[in-house]
A = this chain, B = another copy of it.
Amino acid sequence: MGLAEAGAGAAQFQRARLLVGALTQAGVRRAVTSPGSRSTPLVLAALDAAAAGLDVASIIDERAAGFFALGQARATGVPTVLICTSGTAPAHYLPAMMEAREAGVPLIALTADRPIELMDCAAPQTTDQTKLFGSFVNHFAEVDLAGPVDPLSLRAIRRTAAQAVFRSRWPRPAAVHLNARARKPLEPEVGAGDGSLAAAVDALLREPIEAAVPASRPDPAALAQAAALCRQAKRGLIVAGALPLPPPARGAAADAYGLAELARRTGFPLLAEATSQSRFVEGSAAGEASCRADCLGAAWAADGGNALPVPDLILQVGAPPVSAGTQRLLEACGAPRVVVSDGPWTDPAGLASVFLPGDVVATVAGLRSRLEAVPGESAGDGWRRDVLALTSRFREGAASDGAESGDRGLHDGDAARAAVEATPTGGLLMLGNSLPVRLVEDWAGKVERRVWVASQRGLSGVDGLVAGFLGSLSTGGFPAGVLLLGDVSLLHDLDGLAIAPEYADGPPAAVVVIDNQGGRIFDRLPIAKADVFRGPAGRHWSTPHGVDFGGLARAFGVPCVRVEDATALAREIGAALGRRGVSLIVATVDPGALDAAEESLRRAMRAAVSAR
């Protein structure tokens, strides 16, 4: 510090201001800081950019900050910039960075680092942060905040910022890591310098910079080939798995990805999973309704695969489906597949005949334009009618189970149904992995209004769900939101729950936790049959806990209520959606009730088939 030139802190702040200002100018609208000292110039710069419209949140735990930012970017399509200090601090971003890559969400981690002269000499909080996130980022760049202030150097900072925003979205959205070295003094000296550097930075920040991401259009020949397969098919089926929230979520059309229109055009039933943004849509036109086969997988499995022949063409859009029934149906049919994907090679079964990567909306539109509308009665009509009959029967069975639910204890499926039904029009429904995302497939009723569905299906972790949910809602893009998750997921994101005080003024956020004392997904896996699972060692899988969720919630100022029947559950979600900030609703479910309900549904389905 003795050797620092007078005004070195001020110059460093100006370079930080240029970096964060240029990020803002290139489109970034939100920043999330976590506390630290080395990051001081970056935090000061973010606060400075707040005047230019940058929203700056503060979250203690970088892991929660990472998932919160991921949730924001998932909802907006615009990268949020994460700012933290050096050492282990950035390491806590890794889970969110990995999810960002797999899920195609843009993100920028701007990590403070110590200068070169403090490397490798046991200086505190100093380690090798270079390429810390390995291959999980689209781009890594070093920024020397204490570097020179000549015109080219300043333009290089501005370019680095614009590049970071661009690379967070290209070739497919993912995270970018900027590692910014800062030197003491970390604060600008009062009255240092003659203001000419500040003026130069201001001038640069007035110059517009835009790096437009080129559109990724499907190959015409491959489109034609896919269209030919569709024309030949007698029993085609469109299966839509997880697809991103279309940015901005709120302004999108009812048929966000054009899948309902594609179903009409091809005559193929549309099996739209909840996370496809194509299942919970506004009151459908008559023609559209006749193509909806939302819970076909569950119905097919419940019925034992007896009522229907298998499809002869699968048109898969987005991620592979999560419903166990749908997976079994696809495994059973082995039909050729046309796979439409926004980037990842979404074909774990290796059955793709035509793989169409690129912008999904453009691909679906391209395919549609190559197919003529089905004129009146057509070859696939019988197939479509059978599919719709099966799914209606399944839905009626599930609904009649629901009608009785006042008379019995809750099961997990009730919680899923209640969560979907409570989410208001244009609201956000976020689904935890393991059971919740699957429960919604089977148990959600017919919902004829737009509900946006977020999930972390990139890597399907149980981590960061509360933080990600609050991040998405914090963008103001949704009137309110409901998060449905399991107890183990909630316990894995205590740091997410700890955001609640910071989020107190946010849109209503109802967190519905299914308390079934541990990870009950394991009851449905082969390990459940092993002796070891049924003994005390079973806790290594199902991890039962004795945590008092009510006490936990209250510690963070979160209203919490425990419910044990469907009526109370609906009432309490409604109450939560009537107040700002986070509320926790603990749905205590009967162990075994879900199995019983499923079994009764299966019996009803089979009886209906044999009665025909």
Contacts and interface: CB of A to CB of B under 8 A. Distances in A.
A234 interface: no
A491 B530 contact: no
Contact of A463 (B56, B88, B494, B519): B88
A488 B94 contact: no
Interface string A539-580: 111110111111110111100000000000000000000000
A347 interface: yes
A94 B494 CA distance: 18
Q: Which of A47, A132, A348 has the most CB of B within 10 A?
A: A348
B537 A47 contact: yes
A186 interface: yes
Contacts of A208: none
Contacts of A99: 88
A375 interface: no
Given A95-B88, A99-B88, A125-B460, A495 B494 contact: yes
A474 B132 CA distance: 31
A118 interface: yes
Interface residues of A, number: 92
A425 interface: no
A551 B186 CA distance: 38
A448 B280 CA distance: 70
A61 B126 CA distance: 26
Contacts of A498: 491, 494, 547
B463 A525 contact: no
Nearest to A497: B494
Contact of A320 (B122, B350, B491): B122
Interface in A27-48: 33, 35-37, 40, 43-44, 46-47
A186 B529 CA distance: 12
A427 interface: no
A181 interface: no
A184 to B, nearest CB: 8
A540 B529 CA distance: 51
B61 A346 contact: no
Contact of A345 (B120, B136, B549, B557): B120
Contacts of A322: 124
Contact of A37 (B122, B136, B525): B525
Interface string A322-347: 10000000000000000001001111
Contacts of A529: 187
Interface in A376-433: none
B527 A58 contact: no
A610 interface: no
A460 B124 contact: yes
Interface in A108-165: 118, 120-128, 131-132, 134-136
Given A319-B122, A547-B556, A95 B91 contact: yes
Contacts of A542: 35
Given A33-B540, A527-B40, A121 B348 contact: yes
A354 to B, nearest CB: 16
A92 interface: yes
Nearest to A346: B122
Given A88-B98, A527-B187, A551-B554, A43 B540 contact: yes
B120 A102 contact: no
Nearest to A134: B134
Nearest to A101: B127
A33 B541 CA distance: 9
A63 interface: yes
A308 interface: no
A301 interface: no
Interface in A165-217: 185-187
B345 A44 contact: no
A89 interface: yes
Given A134-B132, A540-B33, A63 B63 contact: yes
A125 B461 contact: yes
Nearest to A96: B88
A56 B540 contact: yes
- Nearest first, the 6 A-B pairs at minimum CB distance are A551-B555, A88-B461, A494-B494, A552-B555, A122-B346, A88-B95
7 contacts: A35-B541, A43-B540, A46-B540, A88-B463, A101-B127, A121-B347, A121-B350
